[in-house]
């Protein structure tokens, strides 16, 4: 046994065909999994998130055993302890692992003498991203996305983009439909004995609703959801991808991100399906391009940016934000803000909110209120089924909170109630009035939006994308009243009384 090589599979590398697992063979390789109690206790995880990762790890381990691998599945105090116990028992001549997706994971494995095999879990490796960055002074997602399209060849007609243009965003930002249309209900599975065993052993501080079988915990079920997403969701995806409805937590979102982020699906599989559906005439170009943009554009841009800017990126706090995450985010209070209540309801029930709810409701509120970036990163990482540091750092520090001073986004994504009203059905029936910025029933977003612009005038006065709004804030006849109301709003937010 001691002549064998071990492949250590981390919890977000659950794929037989990537990195170190690609060349693994049952006759020559052991496979190691370590469930770390320290990791499990490091955050107050959403129950569905913790359940998904652990159950998917165990099912993947069982699949490898069925293939003939000897699997050493350990539950240990820490990852390092699990590795040490494995080495002591099996004495492998070498331990390999696919390059981890997190900075700390990579440091840890290097420290423990694990040989890292280049990851191909993404379509753009961080080294390729660096080649793209080259001498660029600023990184623009749209440039990166077009570079990806050209080199990967998706939705291309020769050198030209299919449909005649690169970007169909203008067709994909429609307001919520006013009809009572229904949206395809996500696939579900019955929970089995493994699900129940994992749930029963979760730490008592896990929060959120019990899993209802929405999230797949195996490769085969993830593939079934991919088929469903392409056949049933993709034709409807696109036009309303930025819309928010209190009556549907998923609308026409594919819900595939957790499988991509755990390795149960590979981005190439999704892109191949998008290409095929478009070429077969089953989906319009705007829908196909909209989803492709998410997969090879935003997702891979965020991944590359994380590695480009780490490790100093973690400490960025350009707007010197000092507030804690509001207690309502932690379920310690309720709220009368209908938009926040509805979004947090989806997070509680499903460990999920779509990108606009994350950016323009939760992120926007934290930006306007001045929440510490590292706190919101931790909260989102622990609360969403697709959370990971590489996802959350650029999305929170860069996109939502402008804490990197504009490396990711050319302007702060700040808005008052007007944008939320335009893109959702939340404001009708809310006790607050989205048009009012002062008074007891003023919309907290609207009050805080104007206060934010005035508060950060020196930072944004020269930013061409927000300078006009900053000037408008200073022309408000009731700016003193807005500032007074903002103090009251923030106090209530902190107390959980908003
Ligand atoms: Fe949210 Fe303001 Fe609209 Fe209420 S009025 S739902 S608080 S944006």
Question: Has residue 310 been placed in a domain?
Answer: no
Give the number of domains in the chain: 3
Q: What angle do CA 375, 250, 432 make, to 5 degrees?
A: 65
Q: Is 321 in the pocket of ligand 1 (CB under 6 A)?
A: no
Residues 458, 19: Cα–Cα separation, whole Å: 47
Residue 221 shares a structural domain with residue 258: yes
| Whether the Cβ atoms of residue 60 and residue 217 lie closer than 8 Å to each other | no
443 lines ligand 1 (CB under 6 A): yes
- Return the residue matching tokens 């500032």: 483
Instruction: Give the CATH number for residue 101.
Output: 3.40.50.620
Task: Please state the φ and ψ torsions of residue 182, each to the nearest 5 degrees.
Answer: -105, 155
Q: Is 190 exposed, middle or buried (0-12, 13-18, 19+ CB in 10 A)?
A: exposed
Residues 131 and 110 grouped into a single domain: no
Contact (CB, 8 A) for 442 and 427: no
* Cβ–Cβ under 8 Å, residues 101 and 121: yes
Whether residues 301 and 321 share a domain: the answer is no
Which residues span the domain enclosing 376? 315-495
DSSP secondary structure string, 204-243? Answer: TT-BSPPP-S-S--SHHHHHHHHHHIIIIIGGGTTTTTT-
- Indicate the top mutation candidate among 432, 435, 449 to test ligand 1's pocket, ranked by most ligand atoms within 8 A of CB: 432
* Atom 2 of ligand 1, nearest CA residue: 443
- Residues 438 and 486: their CA atoms lie apart, in Å, by 9
State which ligand 1 atom lies nearest to the alpha carbon of 417. 8
Do 491 and 390 sit in the same domain of this protein? yes
The reply to whether 339 and 457 lie within a common domain is yes
**Residue 261, SS3?**
helix
Cβ(11) – ligand 1 distance below 6 Å: no
Of 51, 84, 117, which residue sits at a domain end?
117
Same domain, 261 and 401: no
Together in a domain, 243 and 381: no
Strand partners, 157: 160
Q: How far apart are CA 33 and CA 390, in angstroms?
A: 21
Closest approach atom of ligand 1 to CA 338: 6
What is the domain-level CATH number for residue 384? 1.10.579.10
Residues 260-296: b if buried by 16+ CB within 10 A, e if exposed = bbbbbbbbeebbebbbebbeeeebbbbbbbbbbbbbb
322 and 456 within one domain: yes
Claim: this prediction has a pTM higher than 0.85: yes
In short, whether 367's Cβ falls inside 6 Å of ligand 1 is no
* Tens-digit pLDDT string for the chain (498 aa): 445 999 999 999 999 999 999 999 999 999 999 999 999 999 999 999 999 999 999 999 999 999 999 999 999 999 999 999 999 999 999 999 999 999 999 999 999 999 999 999 999 999 999 999 998 988 999 999 999 999 999 999 999 999 999 988 777 677 777 777 778 899 999 999 999 999 999 999 999 999 999 999 999 999 999 999 999 998 887 777 788 888 888 887 889 999 999 999 999 999 999 999 999 999 999 999 999 999 999 999 999 999 999 999 999 999 999 999 999 998 888 899 999 999 999 999 999 999 999 999 999 999 999 999 999 999 999 999 999 999 999 999 999 999 999 999 889 999 999 999 998 999 998 999 999 999 999 999 999 999 999 999 988 988 989 999 999 998 999 999 999 999 999 999 999 999
Domain end among 80, 96, 117: 117
């Amino acid at each position: 046994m001691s002549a064998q090589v071990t492949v250590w599979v981390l919890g977000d590398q659950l794929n037989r065909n990537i990195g170190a697992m690609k060349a693994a063979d049952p006759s020559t390789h052991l496979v190691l999994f370590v469930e770390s109690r320290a990791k499990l206790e490091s955050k107050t995880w959403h129950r569905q998130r913790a359940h998904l990762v652990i159950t998917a790890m165990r099912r993947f381990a069982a699949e490898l055993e069925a293939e003939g691998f000897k699997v050493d599945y350990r539950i240990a105090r820490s990852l390092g302890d699990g590795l040490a116990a494995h080495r002591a028992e099996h004495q492998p001549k070498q331990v390999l692992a696919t390059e981890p997706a997190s900075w700390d994971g990579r440091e840890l494995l290097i420290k423990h003498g694990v040989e890292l095999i280049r990851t191909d879990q993404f379509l753009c490796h961080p080294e390729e991203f660096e080649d793209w960055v080259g001498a660029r002074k600023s990184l623009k997602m749209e440039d990166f996305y077009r570079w990806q399209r050209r080199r990967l060849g998706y939705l291309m007609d020769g050198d030209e983009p299919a449909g005649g243009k690169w970007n169909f965003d203008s067709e994909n930002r429609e307001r919520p439909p006013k009809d009572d249309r229904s949206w395809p209900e996500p696939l579900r599975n019955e929970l089995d004995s493994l699900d129940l065993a994992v749930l029963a052993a979760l730490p008592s501080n896990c929060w959120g609703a019990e899993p209802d079988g929405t999230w797949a915990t195996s490769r085969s079920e993830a593939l079934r959801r991919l088929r469903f997403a392409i056949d049933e969701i993709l034709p409807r995806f696109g036009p309303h991808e930025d819309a928010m409805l209190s009556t549907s937590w998923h609308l026409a979102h594919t819900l595939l991100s957790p499988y991509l982020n755990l390795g149960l699906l590979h981005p190439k599989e999704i892109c191949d399906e998008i290409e095929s559906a478009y070429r077969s005439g089953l989906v319009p170009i705007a829908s196909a391009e909209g989803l492709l943009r998410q997969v090879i554009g935003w997702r891979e841009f965020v991944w590359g940016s994380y590695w480009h800017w780490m490790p100093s990126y973690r400490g960025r706090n350009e707007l010197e934000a000092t507030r804690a995450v509001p207690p309502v985010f932690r379920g310690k209070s309720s709220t009368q803000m209908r938009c926040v209540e509805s979004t947090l309801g989806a997070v509680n029930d499903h460990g999920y909110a779509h990108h606009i709810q994350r950016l323009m409701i939760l992120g926007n509120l934290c930006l306007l209120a001045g929440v510490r970036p590292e706190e919101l990163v931790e909260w989102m990482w622990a609360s969403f089924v697709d959370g990971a540091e590489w996802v959350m750092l650029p999305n929170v520090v860069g996109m939502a909170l402008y804490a990197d001073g504009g490396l990711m986004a050319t302007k702060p994504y700040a808005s008052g109630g007007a944008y939320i009203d335009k893109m959702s059905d939340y404001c009708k029936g809310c006790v607050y009035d989205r048009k009012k910025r002062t008074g007891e029933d003023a919309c907290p977003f609207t009050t805080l939006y104007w206060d934010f612009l005035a508060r950060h005038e020196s930072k944004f006065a020269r930013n061409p994308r927000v300078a006009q709004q900053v000037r408008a804030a200073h022309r408000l006849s009731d700016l003193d009243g807005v500032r007074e109301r903002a103090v009251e709003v923030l106090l209530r937010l902190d107390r959980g009384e908003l």
